Amino acid sequence: MGVIRLHNMTFYGYHGISAAEQKTGRRFEVDCELFVDIDKAAKSDKLGDTIDYTKVYNLVEDIIQKNRFALLETIAVRLANILLKNFKIKEVLVRVRKKIPPIPGNLDHIEVEIRRKR
């Protein structure tokens, strides 16, 4: 088994509890770790025998940019479930970060992580 990682995919979205977040939006970052059998692809050297990274990126982008969610937890679970549904992966780890969250104080981001298995 191997791991395919897409790190720091960055999108602009309108997710959050406050009206301000929903109106003005924020920058979000997503990491996906896809646990897959890479032996067939390693032998054949063909894209059809592995996970197409572009399709993963596009799916994540669609979820982040075409929907509105109140919670990071909801985004993370939706992403994990749809990745398991659409790709031949055994396990997925998803991290969703909200950059510069609306919290008093000095804070770079809030992050939610979820791991799901088939």
Q: Across the strands, what pairs with 92?
A: 34, 116
* Residue 98 designated active-site: yes
- Show Cβ contacts of residue 90 under 8 Å, excluding neighbours closer than 6 positions: 1, 35, 36, 37, 117, 118
Q: Which of 66, 98, 99, 117 is an active site residue?
A: 98
Which pair of tokens denotes residue 19?
A: 């009206």
d(CA 55, CA 71): 24
How many Cβ atoms sit within 10 Å of the Cβ of residue 96? Answer: 32
Among all residues, which ones are annotated catalytic? 98
